[in-house]
Every structure is written in C-alpha cells, then in structure tokens.
Structure 1
C-alpha cells in the first residue's frame, strides 16, 4: 500500500517533548545558569527539542544578554546535546520593532564567529499572524542564512499558534509551501500556545483557567498532517499534576499530536515515555462513561469497582452497569463483555501481531484474524472471553504508527537506548526496530 501520509522534509518524524529554558536570569552570578542545566540533560530527562527561550521566559531587559548566552552555551556544549536545539526569539505580528529585534537576536546567535550555529537546528517564532506574517518570519531566517553564507532552507522554522489569525493560516500552508517566492518548506513544528490564544479570543472561564481548546489542538494537528509537519501541544502549567499531564498527552496522541510542551524535567520524562507503546498490556472495561483498567491477578483480569456488578442466578446472569440492568444467558453475557472490554497491547504484543501479519502477507494472504483471549472476573464471577479482529494492510499500517514513533526515537536518540532496553527488553527492541523494514 502506498504511503498516504504527507512526506516530511526533515529527518525527524515525531517530537514528543519541547522544553523551554530562560536564556538569562537576573540576579544570578551566571545569568546563563538555566541554559547550562538544560543542555546537560541526557536520556529520558532530555527533550527531543530544547528551546532556549528568549521571549516570554526571559525578562525584556535581559534578552540581549540572553542571545549572547545562547550562543556561548550552545557553542560550548551543543555538540553533546542529544536532541535538537531551536531557540525562541521575539516576534510580533503587529510590531515591526519587535520583529527587527528578533532578527538581530538571530544574527547574534547564528554568527559563525561564536561557533554555535553548527549545533542549532532552527528558530521558533511566537506571536505569528496570518500567512503573510509567516512569510516575513521565513524571510528573516533567509536573511540570516544569506548573511552568513548558509544554505537557504538549512535552518528550520517553527511557529507558535497563539491567535485566530495563525490558526486560520493553517488552512493556507499547503498552497503556500513550495512556491519559489518563499522558503516555507523549512517549517518543522506547529506549537500551540493556549495562554495567548485564550487572550486573543477574549475567552472567559469562571475560574480564570484555560479552556481545553480541543478544536485548536485538532486544527493544529490537522494542519501539521496536511503539510508534513509536526504538531506540539502547549504548556501544562500545573507542574505538580503529573497524572493530569500524562492524561493530556494520551488525549493529544489520539488526535495525532504526539508532542507536548514541557516545563520541568519530570514533565519531560512523562512526555518522552507516554506516546511509546506500553511495557505491559492490559484490559479496559467500559463502565458507563469511563474506561477502567482491570487488575491483573495472574489467573484473571479483575474488576472490583461498583460501577459494574455481575451475579450468577442459576443458569443465567444479571449484569448491571449504572442504572442499566440486563438478564443474560452465557452466550449473551460473553458478547456483552466482549463489547465492553478493550485490550491495550504492549510493545511485545504489537511486534508479535505485525510479524504474524507480515508472514501471512508475504505468503500471499491479504487478511488474517487475530485472536485475543482472557479470563475476566467481576464480583467473583469468571468468564472466558475471546475477541477476534481482522488484520489487513490498512490495519497493519495504522498499527505501525506507535512502532514508527519508537523507531524514530531509537534512531535519533541513542542516549535513550539503554533505558528503552530496560523498559522492553533487548529482544523486543531488536524486533521492533526491524518491523516494516
């Protein structure tokens, strides 16, 4: 089957983590202290993309010094940083003076005499407006490349979608990219900025918190997919709520947005691991409006909550879900449970299924049935269930997405190899890297 995904210009297909750091901190003996700490991160604590933030994270009076700090720190330690480095500069769609300042900071950071540019992959632009403003940002990067004799298009450009104008510009990307009048093919990431977006939309919530902006995340993910780019969600500022942050990454992955802004090393670790296939497979039970993970007790997968009850009444069963009660025979109960249960495969399960399908496909079989079975226990009542699913080429390609993410991580993040092998086991890692090749 032909690949229907829009081709990507850049080597990286996925970005899980986007970590920002202040470029200059006033009152510190070393104003670049935060940069030095971030650039030293390794393994699961190190992001896929590190963004020295010379905009919101840095006071306006410190930004000139911040640009110098970026150049100095990246020149000294950038060669050893395991992720990509994309500084964020100041930019504003309605302020030419701010745009000029951003250009000057890029020129300082990219000056070959400072020896940082060879380790810098691109720049991040905040506060962009409509598509004409994206072209201005692209032109600014082109000016930097021409100033220092760099190949046009060699520096990537990422934008933060922080207003309705930028969101609407997503619709224009496919038509504008590739025209001889711009270098927009340098675009790499589309990052949501929900805080400024909320301000731009004049949105109000009773608590003063941010709306979920599911539509924005969907639109950004769709725009990235259509243009062959990478979508990244904005910051989750309750840094103590790691479980909420993890749930946000899971919700995002379901709409094709596998990256998220990280504010702390703990968030980086969570976001680096979350979109990868799980280490252990598990069953989910649909209980009303929730899906609840069953407990693995060795001999059975057990539900011990009160949203679902099951009792045996002679040769029949009484199944209650919330206010809904059903009297069922054994076959009817089996089908009901099959409909309520869903298996979440681990990496080993995925590789097994893919290897089985590849073997069948190579022998000329176009579709095969995959069977998953388990013993389920609810209120002491046990039931053996089997669930069959047909696999064809389309199913295989869809199931490859999380494995392709793993392969992309394994190829681009050798500093995480040891941790990945500890998570999955060397045998599973070896097989996963070979699937689809």
Structure 2
C-alpha cells in the first residue's frame, strides 16, 4: 500500500473571489481548491469556471496541489465544470474534488468523462480525484466510493451537508446543540476513515466554519488526527498553520520512528525478528508504524538505515 500524498491542509477558495487567488497560491496549504459549488451563487457558477481556469493558469502555485471542486454530478453544472476546467487548465490542474458522492457510480461517471477528455486533448497527465462523503447514503457506501477509481487520492468527511441529510440538531460549527457523550460524528468519521484505509488513500476531516475560533479548530483537528485522519479543510488561511502542525508528527515521534527502524534493521541483519528500544519491544508491527510516521512527516524526512 502506497503512502497517501500529504494532505494536512486543504484550503477552500471561492472561484468567484479573484482577490483571494494570489494569497491562496502563495499559501503553505498542501492543497488549494477553487470552489465552484457551495461558495458560489447558482447564477454565477458557469462564470466562475473561467475565473478558476485563469487562476490556475496565471499564478505560480509552487508545490501546492491545484484543485477545483465541481458541482454535484446530480446538478446541471457538473459536466460543464469538468469539461471547461480540464480543457482550459490542462496540465495546470492536478485534482478535481467531487462533492456529495452517494455511491461508486458517482465516481465512475467522473472518471469516465475525465478519461474521454484526457484522450481527446492529449493531456500528458491524469487528473486525480478527491471525493466528499457528506450524505447518509455516502456514509453507508463509503467503502465502495473510496475504492471506485484508481484516480482517488482522498475521501473527505463533510459534516455540514451530512447534518442536513441526517436531520442532526447542530450549531454552525456542526457541533450538537445539546450535551452529547463523546464525539458526535464518531460513527461517520470512522466509516470515512476505514474506507480510506481500505483503499490506501488519505482521509480528510471536515471544515470548521468559525475561523475566529482557532482553539476550536485545533481541538477538532487534534481529535481527527488521533483517529488517524491525514488532514483537515481550512476555510481561511489562518487555519493552515494549525492543520500543518497538528497533522505532522512531532519531532519526538519522528526521532522515535527512526530509532525503531534502525534497531529493527540491525536486529534483522543478525537474523532476529524483533528487538527492543528503551526496554520496549520493536517488531514488524512497530516498523510499519514507524514507516507510517515518517511518511506523514513528508518526503524530506530521512528514514535512516
């Protein structure tokens, strides 16, 4: 199973807000997506496509993954979003984000259309996909959605629309209005996370709408990271640093992973299947955990010998 790409932070940027493009391109987000869906008024969604294409073509995005969130495939805009954005941006587009996926067929539909466009225009790369699971049907079919296409890099837990689909009584940060014992979204989060792990792709946590509450955002991020999520949406640039920090292993975790790997390799060279570090067992399971930690730390982190 390959290591999922770094997706610690995914910054949402409305495709109609041209003043935000330069700042988004220069940000430290692992991925920036230009939004054609919920952040855009219906009357402006077709016009927003051209603005997204110009932003992708005209700005230097550095190493940031360049993405566009299309409209749901159940709307009148989806096919036009895909055709106009892919044909307009070409190699300057890395990923499409598909919202409100309810079944594998939703991903399949986008995959087939992308394949046809790529072949027709002779695109020299494959456009990747990320999928939002934000509906009760999507939660129920999370595994089949996550494994529907080899284009998929991540599945994203969306609490906002899921609140509506579920009929949940929550506040504007999608937290329960009444006292609730534990994580209100634990079941849905774990369905999304489990599906991602089965598919060998990243799992991204939901946005936190109140960007003036950094403590609340960090609390949400730490809870998701503890479960195993790879990153979290940011609806404001001020949230990027927190996401990058929370979803990156600490220096102590990285150092421990390196030591465990080095000790295990040395033991392995002596014909042993396990060893100890600081009085604690290190076996094959700990090696896998160490490799996962170092993978999450980024490609610049050495795994040692």
TM-score for the superposition, normalised by structure 2: 0.88
Q: Kindly tell me the number of residue pairs found equivalent between the two proteins.
A: 298
C-alpha RMSD of matched pairs (Å)? 2.4
Relative to total residues, which structure has the larger strand share, 1 or 2? 1
Summarize the Cα distance change of 1:188–1:128 in structure 2 as closer, same or farther, 3 Å threshold.
same
* TM-aligned CA deviation for residue 207 of structure 1: 8.8
Which of 277, 293, 300 aligns to 1:402? It is 293
Summarize the Cα distance change of 1:172–1:208 in structure 2 as closer, same or farther, 3 Å threshold.
closer
Q: Secondary structure at the match of 2:39?
A: coil
| 8 Å contact kept, 1:123–1:156 | yes
Matched, 1:139 2:30: no
Match of 1:21 in 2: 13
Matched, 1:254 2:226: yes
Match of 2:37 in 1: 55
Match of 1:38 in 2: 24
Which of 70, 74, 82 aligns to 1:89? It is 70
| 8 Å contact kept, 2:260–2:282 | no
Q: Which runs of 5+ in 1 are unaligned?
A: 1-6, 26-31, 178-183, 280-344, 372-387, 411-431
Which of 167, 170, 183 aligns to 1:202? It is 167
Match of 2:257 in 1: 350
Match of 1:162 in 2: 134
Q: Secondary structure at the match of 1:50?
A: strand
Match of 1:127 in 2: 100
Summarize the Cα distance change of 1:353–1:185 in structure 2 as closer, same or farther, 3 Å threshold.
closer
* TM-aligned CA deviation for residue 173 of structure 1: 4.5
* TM-aligned CA deviation for residue 237 of structure 1: 1.6
Q: What does 1:62-73 correspond to in 2, within 5 Å?
A: 62-73=44-55
Q: Secondary structure at the match of 2:101?
A: coil
Partner Cα distance (1:144, 1:81) in 2? 25
| 8 Å contact kept, 2:135–2:161 | yes
Partner Cα distance (2:245, 2:165) in 1? 33
| 8 Å contact kept, 1:407–1:433 | no
* TM-aligned CA deviation for residue 221 of structure 1: 0.9
Matched, 1:101 2:8: no
Match of 2:157 in 1: 192
Partner Cα distance (1:105, 1:206) in 2? 31
Q: Which runs of 5+ in 2 are unaligned?
A: 177-183
Higher CA-based Rg = 1
Partner Cα distance (1:206, 1:60) in 2? 25
| 8 Å contact kept, 1:194–1:210 | no
Partner Cα distance (2:93, 2:79) in 1? 16
Partner Cα distance (1:398, 1:353) in 2? 10
Summarize the Cα distance change of 1:241–1:358 in structure 2 as closer, same or farther, 3 Å threshold.
farther
* TM-aligned CA deviation for residue 208 of structure 1: 8.6
Larger relative contact order (CA 8 Å, sep ≥ 6):
2
Partner Cα distance (1:261, 1:255) in 2? 16
| 8 Å contact kept, 2:11–2:29 | yes
Summarize the Cα distance change of 1:69–1:210 in structure 2 as closer, same or farther, 3 Å threshold.
same
TM-score for the superposition, normalised by structure 1: 0.63
* TM-aligned CA deviation for residue 247 of structure 1: 2.9
Deviations 1:158-215 (A, max 9, x none): 21111011122223247x64xxxxxx22122111110100100111248994343111
| 8 Å contact kept, 2:46–2:77 | no
Q: What does 1:280-299 correspond to in 2, within 5 Å?
A: none
